[in-house]
Amino acid sequence: MTANKPQNRYDYDVVVIGAGHAGTEAAAAAARVGAKTVLLTTNLDTVGQMSCNPAIGGVAKGQIVREVDALGGLMGEAIDATGIQFRMLNRRKGPAMHSPRAQADKKAYQNFIKFRIENQDNLDLRQEVVEDLITEPIAEGSDRLATQRVVGVQVRGDAAYYARTVILTTGTFLQAIMHTGKSQSAGGRAGEGTTAGLSGALHHLGFTLDRFKTGTPPRLNARTIDYAGLEEQPGDEDPQPFSYLNDAITSPQMACHIAHTNEQVHDLIRANLDRAPMYSGQIDSRGPRYCPSIEDKVVRFADKSSHQLFLEPEGRQNCEVYVNGISTSLPRDVQDAMFRCIPGLEKATIMRYGYAVEYDFSPPTQLWPHLESKAVSGLFFAGQINGTTGYEEAAGQGLLAGLNAARLVAAQTPWVPSRQDAYVGVLVDDLVTSGTDEPYRMFTSRAEYRLLLRQDNADRRLTQQADELGLIDAARRERFQNKRRDIERGNELLKAAKIQPPTGPVVRGDVYLRRPEVTWETLREQVPELGEIGKEAAEQCTIDIKYAGYIDRQQAEVHKQSRHAEKSIPVSFDYDRIGPLRTEAKEKLNRVRPINLGQAKRISGITPADLALVLAHLENHS
């Protein structure tokens, strides 16, 4: 809609729509860098709610949480304060694969996030349902592609919020339909409604929308589970915090348990496939391949006679147990019957039935890398609305969108981490360059420089930049600087130390530490001053030294690749004027509008020859 004169008008720099994982990080980041921000959300009791799994982190996702934290975000501190079980996954593999994951006390997590939002300066939180976007045309002659500019949002009732920038983080709520068996209802999450108006508004503004689906498993009452025969899965003995602000996790940990499906369960599922919305044709949108429903698993892996189920408590003062591994939209009676056949769960009562949800998302190739839309100036998108799945992916995008919306208001250039700086950089580059044809989640395999993007060094990669951007406070700055000094001192001590190995000549401490059998602790016995170095700094010194060869090789590769990659391409660059450029290449480049040659190179189907033509044209006309 275009601007009108509502009865109640509120003015801000940044309006964020939706207080999920993307929205809360977006609002907090915009406010931290000084923008007058409001976060509007349907229900204040669901701020920061985990729609599905009560867990944060995991492979590649844990790395994103560490990055969000290194940039001053909320997620790391929230899970540290409210986690009930912490595990470092892939501990036996190299450091690039180490990935922190924690079960959360779901309600406590949500309250923590809400409290932080309520206490953030420059930020108002308000319960509102946003129904429309207010835009106005941009006069011709602007050097941007956009023909419209967002100026605010219309909410249900007689009020509008005006702002220079608006961030859409509405998750699974656009035109959402939930399915359990043949039963369907409108809503983006059990017990909640859907958002219809915004899909219409986006269509009206010329955006393409597509549909995805995702599913969730049933929740059981812990009291009705027979844990005696189930395998216990404890947390780590020395749990590691997610936040660089915390030294340790001291809260008591809770155990998870493992159960198994069997042929009886699989037969039951096969016999009822015609009642499963995904197989009966009731749902035809695409879901996450790597996170299949139990129906999918039984069909796709027909030779497997059993699948693992992880029973994950949803909180300390809560009997609900999340059954990870059995996401389903089968009818209620089949869900009940499945558990009757699973040892340990024969008497389990379902507290919430599993369901699938279909929703609109906005293909992210419609965005610039800083997450502003190409068509409507000032309108940003972050989170599940961009076709991603997962709290962590949402949080990373949210933080970036919030920061860049505030920077646009302040007439500053956007900031986007590169693929070699952060998984968040990989995430947004993949999204805006290639789009996604299934819900996108992060994997370590998506990052070409994963030895550089470790969970342990996110602060060394990002916190200095976060400080320059105004994203972090004095306490974090001081902690980071102390750690950096500690790392330097550790390296000096190692270089100065003369070590006598059991055999052979005396060697320097750093040379000795390169040996696979030598650890920081063994060295400390011979160099007592190393005891002054903090645990995290000692870990960094050790990794830097032990993996120096691999790290140097990746850094050299980054250097080589970035020679031409950083050459920027003007927004209004006219690909059609490059005569010899293939029509297919013109179409793709016009659609994606890469901001530099590096991004152009990553567009599928763009060849080195196409790039050479673009480069030549750029150089001849600059």
What are the binding residues?
18-23, 130, 195, 287-301, 384
| For ligand FAD, the closer CB: 54 or 417 | 54
- Residue 52 CB, shortest distance to ligand FAD, in Å, is 3
125 binds ligand FAD (CB under 6 A): no
Q: In what order do the strands lie in the sheet with 183-186?
A: 183-186, 177-180, 355-361, 210-216
> Which stretch, 136-144, 212-220, 550-558, 585-593, contacts ligand FAD (CB under 6 A)?
212-220
Residue 100 exposure: Cα atoms within 13 Å on the Cβ side: 29
Residues 6+ apart with CB under 8 A from 280: 182, 273, 274
Which residue's CB is nearer to ligand FAD, number 166 or number 230?
Answer: 166
* Cα–Cα distance, 439 to 516 (Å, whole number): 41
Give the residue ranges of the annotated binding site for FAD. 18-23, 130, 195, 384
Q: Which of 37, 46, 110, 436 binds ligand FAD (CB under 6 A)?
A: 46
Checking DSSP bridges between strand 165-168 and strand 379-381, what pairing results, if any? parallel
Residues 168-197 that bind ligand FAD (CB under 6 A): 169-173, 189, 195
Contact predicate 498/523, CB 8 Å:
no
| Residue whose CB is less far from ligand FAD, 355 or 575 | 355
| 560 vs 553: CA distance, rounded Å | 11
Q: Rule CB under 6 A: say whether 362 interacts with ligand FAD.
A: no
**Selected binder of ligand FAD within 15, 201, 294, 357 (CB under 6 A):** 357
Lookup result for tokens 């990669």: 461
Stretch of 50-58, 299-307, 407-415, 585-593 contacting ligand FAD, by CB under 6 A: 50-58
Q: Tell whether residue 354 is a contact of ligand FAD (CB under 6 A).
A: no
Options 129, 255, 451, 571; binder of ligand FAD; rule CB under 6 A: 129
Task: Tell me how far apart the alpha carbons of residues 511 and 4 are, in angstroms, rounded to a whole number.
Answer: 71
Nearest to 138 by CA among 373, 427, 299, 334: 373
Q: Which is nearer to ligand FAD, 287 or 594 (CB)?
A: 287
Binding of residue 41 to ligand FAD (CB under 6 A)? yes
Q: Which long-range contacts (CB under 8 A, 24 or more apart) does 305-308 make?
A: 305/262, 305/263, 305/266, 306/260, 306/261, 306/262, 306/263, 307/260, 307/261, 308/258, 308/259, 308/260
Which residue in 37, 42, 110, 457 binds ligand FAD (CB under 6 A)?
42
H or E segment and range at residue 256: strand 256-260
∠71-76-82 over CA atoms, to 5°?
Answer: 155
User: Of these, 180, 216, 433, 444, which contacts ligand FAD (CB under 6 A)?
Assistant: 216
Closest CA to 462 of 71, 121, 190: 71
Check: CB of residue 26 under 8 Å from CB of residue 40.
Answer: no
Among 31, 52, 469, 589, binds ligand FAD (CB under 6 A): 52
Residue with tokens 């056949």: 341
Cβ distance to ligand FAD smaller for residue 34 or 193: 193
Q: Which is nearer to ligand FAD, 363 or 534 (CB)?
A: 363
CA–CA gap between residue 71 and residue 468 (Å, rounded):
11
Under rule CB under 6 A, residue 342 binds ligand FAD:
no
Tell me how far apart the alpha carbons of residues 386 and 188 are, in angstroms, rounded to a whole number.
15
Nearest approach, Cβ of residue 315 and ligand FAD (Å): 17
Told to check if 331 binds ligand FAD by CB under 6 A, we report no
Cα 359 to Cα 176: distance, rounded to the nearest angstrom:
4
78 binds ligand FAD (CB under 6 A): no
Cα(324)–Cα(321) distance, rounded to whole angstroms? 9
* 17 forms part of the interface with ligand FAD (CB under 6 A): yes
CB closer to ligand FAD, 189 vs 419: 189
Answer whether 424's CB lies under 8 Å from 380's CB.
Answer: no
379 binds ligand FAD, rule: CB under 6 A:
no
Which range of residues in 14-22, 134-142, 306-314, 339-347 is near ligand FAD by CB under 6 A? Answer: 14-22
Residues pairing with 359 in the sheet: 212
Q: How far is the CB of 355 from ligand FAD (least distance, A)?
A: 6
Q: Shortest gap between Cβ of 67 and ligand FAD (angstroms)?
A: 17
CA angle 610, 615, 619 (to 5 degrees): 150
Q: Say how far apart CA 100 and CA 239 lie, in whole Å.
A: 9
CA distance 112 to 205: 36
Using CB under 6 A as the binding rule, whether residue 44 contacts ligand FAD is answered as no
**Is 463 strand, coil or helix?**
helix
Q: Which stretch binds ligand FAD (CB under 6 A): 48-56, 456-464, 508-516, 549-557?
A: 48-56
Residue 291 sits in the site that holds ligand FAD (CB under 6 A) = yes
Is 72 a residue that touches ligand FAD (CB under 6 A)? no
Residue 384 as a binder of ligand FAD (CB under 6 A): the answer is yes
- Contact range with ligand FAD by CB under 6 A, out of 41-49, 309-317, 581-589, 601-609: 41-49
198 is an interface residue for ligand FAD by CB under 6 A: yes
3 state DSSP class of 622: coil
Work out which of 14, 16, 22, 569 binds ligand FAD, going by CB under 6 A: 22
Q: What is the closest distance, in whole angstroms, from the C-beta atom of residue 321 to ligand FAD in the complex?
A: 16
| 37 lines the binding site for ligand FAD (CB under 6 A) | no
19 binds ligand FAD (CB under 6 A): yes
Q: 214 or 436: whose CB is closer to ligand FAD?
A: 214
Point out the annotated binding site for NAD(+): 287-301
Nearer to ligand FAD, 15 or 578 (CB): 15
Q: Which two tokens stand for residue 451?
A: 């030895």
Stretch that binds ligand FAD, among 13-21, 105-113, 522-530, 553-561 (CB under 6 A): 13-21
Q: With beta carbons less than 8 A apart as the criterion, state whether 88 and 98 touch.
A: yes
Of 11-19, 73-81, 556-564, 583-591, the segment contacting ligand FAD by CB under 6 A is 11-19
Q: Tell the residue number behind the tokens 């660059």, with chain if given.
A: 573
- Write out the residues near ligand FAD by the rule CB under 6 A: 17-23, 40-43, 46, 51-53, 129-130, 169-173, 189, 195, 198, 214-216, 291, 357, 383-384, 389-391, 394, 441
